[in-house]
Amino acid sequence: MYTTLTVATDSAGIATITIDVPNRPMNVFTPALMADLDAALATVKADAAVRGILITSAKSSFIAGADIKDLVTFFDRGLPASEAFGYSQSLSGLLRRIEICGKPVAAALNGLALGGGLELALACHHRVLTDDPKAVVGLPEVKIGLLPGAGGTQRVPRLIGIAAAAKFLTDGSSLAPAEALKLGLVHVVAPKAEVAERARQWLLTSPEPSAPWDRKGFRIPGGAGLSNVAVAQTFAIGTALVTKMTQRNYPAPAAILSALYEGTAVPFDTGLRIESKYFATLLTGAVARNLMRTLFVHKGELDKLSRRPADVPKQSLTRLGVLGAGMMGAGIAHVAAAAGVSVVLLDATAEQAARGKAHTEKQLAREVERGRRSADSAAEVVGRIEATTDYGRLVGCELVVEAVFEDRNIKAEVTRRALEVLPKTAVFASNTSTLPIGGLAAASSRPAQFIGIHFFSPVEKMPLVEVIVARKTTPATLARALDFVGLLRKTPIVVNDSRGFYTTRVFGAYCQEGQAMLAEGVDPALIENAGRIAGMPVGPLAVTDEVSLELQLRAARQAEADLGAKFVAPVSMPVLTHFVDDLKRLGRKSGGGFYDYPTDGPKRLWPGLSAQYPRAAVQPSLETVKQRLLHIQALEAARCVEEGVVTTPAEADIGSILGIGFPAWTGGALSYIDTLGVATFVADCERLARSCGKRFRVPRGLKARAASATPFHSAAPADSAA
């Protein structure tokens, strides 16, 4: 009768609805599940022998949420807000029917309950959650540009108060069982084996079959309405914080506050309709589409190593060599050891190697201090790292990552020395961020087993790894590299070899444009603020200081030496040369670059900038500066596609967001073009080329896309849930 659940009624009159959506690792709300739940509810409601209803799951989790595969297509299909409103109301109505069915309903949460899964639980009159630390509960919809559309914005404030609800819903964070109990989202936390029975025992007490808000005299905890000073402050402060946090690029947090404000001032069922109205506006908007498609659907595919050659057998990695114990090498050694791999961390001196290992000791000591790891576990991780100067210790390493100074000669030397002792089957990887892998592979006697594995700093925190395939790199080598990245639980993108690869080229365009505007006389504060307001993590001048002006100039000069007459100087070359060669301001590492770094306070823009680059009498608008900073990056991403450096739009988008901080609301560099419209973007760039320079000229392939109205993303995404 049902395809997604079973119903069984015991001798005591407790009907247990067990959800088990087929062919899914986790239960998600599908149309079939919604229909089955509705039918099952009608059956048990009409059965006079049923005195209580227990809802649970046959899987290791309860329900992970809605099926993003269904939601992400609303915008692309051009569906009206009325249809999105209807979608929300259908699920909201189903949960409301459970809530007012006239019989007590308990949820036995045997695992995590997120999104619609928690909303279903909140519609039950009693909630028992397993004490498993992995059994988190939360309403993370804000992270995909939405709000809870099945009653979450209305039930949560009526349970825990408006102030607590506003924080919980706009954060989108998940709560561990003890936290959920303390906040009041669940009634009982119990061992997993007892969850269903504890819920059943509650039903046997013949409890009141209604929610608190359906009872006469109910009042929202802490009060509601603007006449309540505390509530008024919550919305006033919350709106200001949301504006600061989102720069108005993300509409979901503001919509959540509006749904809370309006919905808690009216009867519950009216509040549900208000919630659906805001949900519909968000679901049919581009931001939600962008976030869902890139950060959940496409990221999920890449996390599953979708680019791994399928015909190469998987091999385990037990011993890793890391050449260079500086910041990057130490970080790589740390994450590998934390993943259970034995690491040989090698540097030129014993002191440098030991310093690299000490990095892990310091990082883990903080985790122990904060209660995130036991002292024994930390000791095990540290014990997996061997700090050495002896290349002979690389014997037995299946993979080596070179992370030495960005100098081709130094890299060639360590490559040759490592290959003298490495097994014939070992893969050699370079962590370079700019130097072509094919050129570095020339120093290897085994170029087929040479590949680029580009980590981002700080390695422990940055989720992206850029895997660079050279002309002679074999599929087997690529597979080994991706297996390594997967072991570290990072997201890989695969790109083809070129100078700067993909992420460095796009990142460089951002930095260079900021410096070009500085040279034009644009107020440096305007440049920096525009970058942040557009959604970048930091302004282009600040991030250049962090990377160092010296490093960027060295990369440009290396390219000039390599390319000769073919070299095209970046627009930032005069500024970099002046700061490094003339002013000796190399960036943060030297104590000053575009910013000063006083010991007694926060960094500040260097007052001397105005003397070096006098401010123009007429300043561009904020929108113009934002557009230049985002368009130049997206244009470089499009060039990388046209040149075959990056081969899938999904990887271009993921790489831009996770690697260099391109604003997530856009969905990534290519989704940004699609969202604006390819023709509009091309027209913008042609105008900027006339006013700012030839770096904004549009490549032939992008013009063809504009003429044929062909976006970068056109195929329907694969399955996902949240």
Show the domains of the chain with their CATH numbers.
5-211+218-284 (3.90.226.10), 319-498 (3.40.50.720), 504-644+646-708 (1.10.1040.50)
User: What is the average per-residue pLDDT within 542-569?
Assistant: 92
Collapsed DSSP state (helix, strand, coil) of residue 346: strand
Question: Over the stretch 17-40, which tens digit does the pLDDT of each residue have?
Answer: 999 999 999 999 999 999 999 999
Question: Over the stretch 176-221, which tens digit does the pLDDT of each residue have?
Answer: 999 999 999 999 999 999 999 999 999 999 999 999 999 999 999 9
What span, in angstroms and rounded, lies between the C-alpha atoms of 281 and 159?
26
Q: Going by C-beta distance under 8 Å and a sequence separation of 6 or more, which residues neighbour residue 300?
A: 718, 720
Provide the mean pLDDT of the chain.
94
Q: Indicate if the pLDDT at residue 236 is higher than 90.
A: no
What span, in angstroms and rounded, lies between the C-alpha atoms of 3 and 39?
12
- Amino acid occupying residue 217: G
Active site residues: 454
Q: Indicate if the pLDDT at residue 525 is higher than 70.
A: yes
Q: Indicate if the pLDDT at residue 224 is higher than 90.
A: no
Question: Over the stretch 155-170, which tens digit does the pLDDT of each residue have?
Answer: 999 999 999 999 999 9
Which pLDDT value is given to residue 722? 46
CA separation (Å) from 334 to 73, 429, 450, 493, 501? 40, 17, 23, 21, 25
Q: Going by C-beta distance under 8 Å and a sequence separation of 6 or more, which residues neighbour residue 443?
A: 411, 412, 413, 415, 416
Residue in the structure block whose two tokens are 């979608």: 87
% of the chain at pLDDT higher than 90: 89
Which pLDDT value is given to residue 431? 96
User: What is the average per-residue pLDDT within 699-707?
Assistant: 96
Q: Indicate if the pLDDT at residue 714 is higher than 90.
A: no
What value does the CA radius of gyration of the chain take, rounded to a whole number of Å?
28
Q: Which two tokens stand for residue 8?
A: 């069984």
Which pLDDT value is given to residue 235? 78
* Bond before 602 cis per omega within 30 degrees: no
Q: Indicate if the pLDDT at residue 665 is higher than 60.
A: yes
Collapsed DSSP state (helix, strand, coil) of residue 674: helix
> In this structure, what is the dihedral angle of CA atoms 102, 108, 109, 111, given to the nearest 10 degrees?
-150
- Amino acid occupying residue 86: G
User: What is the average per-residue pLDDT within 552-578?
Assistant: 93
What span, in angstroms and rounded, lies between the C-alpha atoms of 21 and 13?
25
Q: Which two tokens stand for residue 226?
A: 């603007």
What span, in angstroms and rounded, lies between the C-alpha atoms of 17 and 136?
21
* Bond before 140 cis per omega within 30 degrees: no
Question: Over the stretch 41-90, which tens digit does the pLDDT of each residue have?
Answer: 999 999 999 999 999 999 999 999 888 888 888 888 888 999 999 999 99
Collapsed DSSP state (helix, strand, coil) of residue 467: strand
Residue 31 has, within 13 A of its CA and on its CB side, a CA count of: 4
Question: Over the stretch 409-431, which tens digit does the pLDDT of each residue have?
Answer: 999 999 999 999 999 999 999 99
Q: Indicate if the pLDDT at residue 720 is higher than 80.
A: no
Q: How many residues does the chain have?
A: 722
Which pLDDT value is given to residue 717? 47
Nearest to 353 by CA among 362, 344, 364, 340: 344
Assign residue 359 a region (left: φ > 0; alpha: ψ between -120 and 50; beta: otherwise): alpha
First to last CA, the chain: 27
> In this structure, what is the dihedral angle of CA atoms 321, 326, 332, 334, given to the nearest 10 degrees?
100
Q: Which two tokens stand for residue 635?
A: 């244009």
Question: Over the stretch 339-383, which tens digit does the pLDDT of each residue have?
Answer: 999 999 999 999 999 999 999 999 999 999 988 899 999 999 999
Q: Indicate if the pLDDT at residue 4 is higher than 90.
A: yes
pTM greater than the 0.85 cutoff: yes
What span, in angstroms and rounded, lies between the C-alpha atoms of 35 and 349?
67
